[in-house]
Structure 1
């Protein structure tokens, strides 16, 4: 097993290819956005664990160079796990190399790599949950995926008026509103373990991704001061390429002219707590849904904590239904 805090470009691509093979097999991506971003950025403090064909023992590179530049740089990758700085663990094993102990080995090493492990079972797959619970981990978070079609049979309702005539809707003005975005996000998610901790650097890192479009960050302002926002994420169409059959497509290529839009994601919904109760989130979300529907996006999804009953009920009234589930597990406290 290789343990490193930095990956060479070649290994980053093998991890991405493995993640795509796992997604196609399991129907769910094994790595969340934070883990994917950590593949490229060694400054975020992630630890990478890799099981490669033919590798024996454990190789550790304190700065990534010793382990990452060895003779196995082009070896087949059988398994991978990510340990983020906050203790979040997630990973996958190649579908063709499962039931050989790779998952157990990665899990044990990942648990030893952090003092506060929190392991995601994306999709709540039965085999993953069985492995994690067999190691004494217990569920502590339940994250729902909710989806809403945007076809003609599911029309988006009219944009409701905000109950404050001074509030104006628009799109984000960068870089002018960057710091205010961070403030509103922190206020809205003060009790959220991940979202509320995002910094200006985290925001900028996401705006550098191919999918970012400032026109998809809808904001509400009073007297030119942001008080709420809805951020939509849309991957480029035509990018779901089978890594086993890549053809001529390459990462970053422009989509084909006949590519159809893929589902969008309601990435973040946030309102300054001092401004809640005026219908700001509803007006922003409906505005965003109208734009997506007008552009032919087939559906939109979002993620919400299962125990956030008020939010779940609100999304259900907007036409969203539960379509998936992720479970986070931690060691049981004695």
Structure 2
């Protein structure tokens, strides 16, 4: 939720706000261009992977998109996801760096709140930037959740994975393992509404991404039944995704069946993925975990990870977050 320098007198045109469903090609392209400008300025993407995927591939029909223009120039964007029936709608927003600190962030926030209706609104701010905190306070929001980004070097020694007795590990087979994996994901993240609510469409979108590689998607089995998984990701400067920064690995998501908790399977699967990423020649690996998920953070710290940055959720007073703790890794 980043919130520049131009005075309103030099705006390229009068402000206008439009709220719509899925965005057509030109509008989606303009939003992605705005996101690139903000990421270059702030050093962090203002939007989550989930939102960016829908912008690239046509959008979620239930989502609402808020476009704030100054004349013909897209100066701000907001995304509202109304689908969480437990915690209520959540939003993300960004203002172009050239037009910040001029009230446009508050205008976007009001438009998102109106679209959310009486169910309240939660806003994600990526990077825990001071401007986002100031904007949230001005709009009457309070900090209610923090998501840590953690990193470690892959040049440092790694313990060998020690699998529990009876567990075997193989890689994911698209078209064969999809439904079984979705069921395991629901069980592993039953108390984490974002991750646990994934559908086949959510999985299919990620399988279409340039970074998707089933060779880095590990499944643990016990007696032919899925017991856990570690899905790794590589992003940055690769042949599939020639970004401006060096490639970095990610512990994208680790999940363990509730029946396997306490067996050490989560740690073993994490190490399986870390060895895979190091064998690919990567130098660093990152992950996300909730600030209050002490078991997960303790596990990752024991594996050499350290806190690198924070994403923050802001909510209006009275909007309650459900318990999101899970034994294994968490995704934003």
TM over 0.5: yes
Partner of residue 71, structure 1: none
Question: Is 1:301 matched with 2:286?
Answer: yes
What are the residue-to-residue correspondences of 1:152-231 with 2, within 5 Å?
A: 154-159=156-161, 161-164=162-165, 166-231=166-231
Cα distance change, pair 177–238 in 1 and its aligned pair in 2 (3 A) = closer
Q: Is the 8 A contact 2:267 2:299 kept in 1?
A: no
Task: Give structure 1 regions of 4+ aligned residues with deviation exceeding 4 angstroms.
Answer: none
Q: Is the 8 A contact 1:261 1:298 kept in 2?
A: no
Partner of residue 311, structure 1: 296
**Structure 2 length as normaliser, TM-score?**
0.84
Partner of residue 51, structure 1: 68
Partner of residue 63, structure 1: none
Q: Distance in 1 between matches of 2:31 and 2:173?
A: 35
Which residue among 100, 103, 115 is the counterpart of 1:101?
103
Cα displacement (A) at 1:260: 7.9
Which residue among 58, 80, 84 is the counterpart of 1:83?
80
Cα distance change, pair 260–88 in 1 and its aligned pair in 2 (3 A) = closer
Q: Distance in 2 between matches of 1:49 and 1:4?
A: 7
Q: Distance in 1 between matches of 2:124 and 2:45?
A: 11
Q: Distance in 2 between matches of 1:2 and 1:44?
A: 16
Q: Distance in 1 between matches of 2:174 and 2:127?
A: 35
**Structure 1 length as normaliser, TM-score?**
0.84
Cα displacement (A) at 1:225: 1.7
- C-alpha RMSD of the superposition: 1.9
Cα distance change, pair 44–202 in 1 and its aligned pair in 2 (3 A) = farther
Q: Distance in 2 between matches of 1:176 and 1:238?
A: 27
Q: Distance in 2 between matches of 1:79 and 1:261?
A: 29
Q: Is the 8 A contact 1:261 1:297 kept in 2?
A: no
Q: Distance in 2 between matches of 1:147 and 1:93?
A: 28
Which residue among 41, 47, 69 is the counterpart of 2:58?
41
Structure 1 counterpart SS, 2:136:
helix
Question: Is 1:278 matched with 2:271?
Answer: no
State the aligned residue count: 295
Cα distance change, pair 215–12 in 1 and its aligned pair in 2 (3 A) = same
Cα distance change, pair 271–13 in 1 and its aligned pair in 2 (3 A) = same
Partner of residue 126, structure 2: 122
Partner of residue 10, structure 2: none
Structure 2 counterpart SS, 1:90:
strand
Which residue among 6, 30, 42 is the counterpart of 2:46?
30
Cα displacement (A) at 1:91: 1.1
Q: Distance in 2 between matches of 1:236 and 1:44?
A: 29
Q: Is the 8 A contact 1:31 1:91 kept in 2?
A: yes
Structure 1 residues 282-333: Cα deviation after superposition (integer angstroms, max 9, x where no partner): 2221111111112111211111011111111110000000001111011112
